[in-house]
Chains A and B, each alone.
Chain A
Amino acid sequence: MKPALNDFSIHVATVNGSGSQTANTVLMRAIFQMGIPVSGKNLFPSNIAGLPTWFTIRASKDGYVARRRGNEILVVMNPETATEDVAAMGPGSVIVLNEQITVPEVPADRFVYRVPMKQITDAVTTDVKLRKLVINMVYVGVLAELLGIEAVEIQRALEAQLGRKPKALGLNQQALEAGAKWARENIEKKDPYRLERMDANTGKILIDGNAAGALGAMFGGVTVVTWYPITPSSSLVESLIGFLDRFRRSPEGAATYSVVQAEDEIAAIGMVLGAGWAGARAMTSTSGPGISLMAEFTGYGYYAEIPAVIWDIQRVGPSTGLPTRTMQGDLQFVSQLSHGDTRHPILIPSSVEDCFEFGWRAFDLADRLQTPVFVLSDLDLGMNNWMSEPFLYPDEAWDRGKVLGDDELAQITKFERYRDLEGDGIPYRTVPGGHRDLKGAYFTRGSGHDEAARYTEDAATYARNMDRLNRKYETARDLVPAPVVTEHPNAQVGVLAFGSSHWAVVEARDQLAKTGLPTGYLLLKALPFTSEVARFLNKYKRIYVVEQNRDGQVAQMLRAEFPAEAMKIRLVLHYDGLPIDAQSVTEGVRRQEGVREAVAEVTR
């Protein structure tokens, strides 16, 4: 049998709340530390404890990190889902089965290793509660032995996780070693799967997008953070609270930030607007249901022109939807959130590096444009761990935008809050408490106002103001992050994707190129569309827009904004709540390109 080296997926089926997370993290980190490209997907239910959960670790010598449809190795720890989990495994796969769990007979072309997990665990500790936890480390030991994960890396990963809890560390070490020992003595390895040290990860880190975004926000100088707990966004603010507490206090312990857990998302965005109006760098983080609640205030922020940063870690909707599954479902809604004529800049991170960078850059944009700026991440990017190059420290000073203080006010005879002096649609603002000069004050309102911020219902004034706001949106095109365009000299078709779909597209483009279908690629990083988007659409005969939603939201926006290219635009959609995989993209493109033969099973 051909050995399968550093290129397979391990699927661990457990019960949530059972403590498997530490075990899976140790497993993933050990592989990472062996220099092998790795990714992890946590598929968990909307539940605290007791429901099925799966964790999939993909090792890929080629560096692919998207979800895959199939898995080569299954660890069966949950009797409830065992039958289905086992049935999903194909020929040649490996099934590590907790011996206590009975499953229907497995075809002979699968490699089944029955492990007496209970006996192994019982020998480690007599404490019944602890047994339930450390049993997870037994399968880590078994896999380490079976796949050749270096003991020293497992040990390092375990120490990093539990180093501060010596008792737990000791017990987990024993369980780990007991699992490995049992495997060494009892498993006769027949399967081809092995891990072997590579050198692909030097200097890299593993981090989830929410922590990365939180770090970015801290280095962006955030001063006011408001939030209402919601999956999958909560961990962003919780990470941020942790960072701020450590790194944003004076020597005396006084905070240079304020975090408020609001009573709901309406209050959360209200606090952000209040703080932004008063000159703070303010942000909130939420998910779809919270975005829905923020609609009225967002329109206010747009119309009254108040800087705000709003993270939306997208999850499956509508309504409660699948709150612990991923989706790119809010783009269209957010882009025009609120009643009336509204348009909002949106940053769309596709990597944890983007999360970090947009974490600070969003504040500069919001201050420059004096408007709410959204960052649309998703559950897959936000809550899963991703490999990354070390984050780059912001290489520029912050941009606080057009804010007038006493020095500037002294030079003018009249301050007009909403006068467009430079033709970019962006007026000058002042902040309460930010000046002594009495002429700097103005009255902020969501109702009709003229250039001097005075109330008016005058028709021409209203229209003039709306046109200026549109001019400002046009200005945003030159300020938002440009897309990353990858040209291919022989390509007739282009692929346009954004956000977490990127990783499936990277892999799919390689698959397509191998089967004679090279593609150009535009990775969209923001709305409004920049000039690169127009050029890209124009260049290719057909454009496949890859999205993780049912209706092709960005494709609809592209068709509306570039009607001349509308007929070129085709859709590759994925909307079942699971992170998109490369095979779906490859098949979607090939089917529409008229390639009849079935796509070869995506294996090595």
Chain B
Amino acid sequence: MTETIEKAGGDRNRVGLTRADYDGGKTTLCPGCGHNAITAAIIQAAYESSLEPQQVAKLSGIGCSSKTPAYFLGRSHGFNAVHGRMPSIATGVHAANHNLLLIGVSGDGDTASIGLGQFCHLIRRNVPVVYIIENNGVYGLTKGQFSATADVGSTQKTGAVNKLLPIDCCEIAIQLGCGFVARSFSGDQKQLRPLLKAAFSHRGTAVIDVISPCVTFADHEGSTKSYAFVKEHDAPLHSIDFVPYFEDMHVDYEPGMTYDVTMPDGSHLVLKKLEADYDPTDAEMALHRLAEAAREQRLLTGLLHVNPEPRGFDVDQKLVDEPLAALPLDRVRPPRVVLEQIVDQYRQGKVAAAAGGG
């Protein structure tokens, strides 16, 4: 289906842009870094989804992964924040302008260690952000220390063995009620792209944890996040097709063998089952299968959990339709008479006393 768009529009998509229009600056990451493949997937997915660069904001924290927003969608605004705090930036940006599509890129250190609190609270508020974790189990920029997602028994290049239990960001996200939780592999573009496109259509926090091998510090024998290890242990739940809202569903899927998720904008995510009986709308099942897979050293990938219509943050806030940032003065400064009215209440003492002890 993705091919049809490209053919139908020549090299221009629905908003008249070419794939190159979604490029960013040149990567400065190591050659072969998994992150570069994710960057390519984001560019392709954005192009195929006909995202308007003007309506996208790219956000990140600190780390190798967090550098990557400079390498895609160069015509969109970007915000490379401080370590582990991208979720709060995202929350503020969304509050200011809920029409923007937010693409957040983080890493395992940025999310699972220093940023774990903000990650959890972002999900708890269900702020609409496509939250991509580029997960390699190590701190690259500081030269190869374990991160909190490193598996027990995984080794550093120096031979040091990780003894601590890993934090599984997907499990946490599911537990916190996240309505879109996926895991993928930077080497699997066919899976990653439709997941990204579906995430663009989601109306709440969408977490995609992408195992992304670090070629410099974690691609050796003994690392559980090396290309070889991930390829060997990858256990896709399903193969995935994404049918955007502007495309007809013209492929017949074999009943019972597919799972069709309708996204809020009318797009469809069609999951062709590989793993028997996996129901991605069942959060408990997802948690159970994740735990089981971890025991068996299988890396479950695909759409782990989906709930396409959770209550979004802006709905909770009952915001006006326009972006708050765009409201003119007369919408945000009450008239003089209101001040006079309030002042009069203070003159009369018809207000609650100042808070405090007593």
Contacts and interface: CB of A to CB of B under 8 A. Distances in A.
A33 B323 CA distance: 45
> Which of B69, B351, B355 is the most central at the interface, judged by chain A CB atoms within 10 Å of its CB?
B355
Chain A interface helix/strand/loop/mixed = mixed
Interface stretch (A265-273, A327-335, A531-539): A265-273
Nearest to B358: A21
Contact of A443 (B80, B88, B357): B80
Size class of the B contact interface (CB-based, 8 Å): 35 or more
B78 interface: yes
Contact of B100 (A55, A218, A278, A444): A278
B159 interface: no
A269 B78 CA distance: 18
Contact of A267 (B75, B88, B100, B349): B88
B53 to A, nearest CB: 6
A182 interface: no
A596 B317 CA distance: 64
A197 to B, nearest CB: 17
A516 B320 CA distance: 62
Interface string B34-63: 000000000000000000011111010000
A438 B317 contact: no
Nearest to B59: A274
B318 A270 contact: no
Given A161-B349, A204-B347, A280-B95, A444 B78 contact: yes
Interface stretch (A41-49, A110-118, A564-572): A41-49
B339 A215 contact: yes
Interface stretch (A391-399, A464-472, A551-559): A391-399
A275 interface: yes
B97 A271 contact: no
Interface string B63-85: 00000011000111111111001
A264 B85 CA distance: 11
A194 to B, nearest CB: 23
Given A226-B92, A258-B95, A274-B79, A385 B354 contact: yes
Contact of B92 (A22, A45, A270, A438): A270
A223 B325 contact: yes
B324 interface: yes
Contacts of A45: 357
B332 A282 contact: no
A262 B93 CA distance: 14
A221 B55 CA distance: 24
B254 interface: no
A594 interface: no
B346 interface: yes
Interface in B312-350: 317-321, 323-327, 329, 331-334, 336, 338-340, 342-343, 346-350
Q: Which 6 A-B pairs have the closest CB atoms?
A: A44-B357, A274-B92, A270-B88, A279-B325, A21-B358, A280-B96
Given A248-B332, A397-B329, 15 more contacts: A21-B357, A42-B358, A205-B343, A224-B92, A226-B92, A270-B82, A271-B95, A277-B79, A280-B92, A281-B332, A282-B96, A324-B357, A430-B77, A435-B54, A443-B80
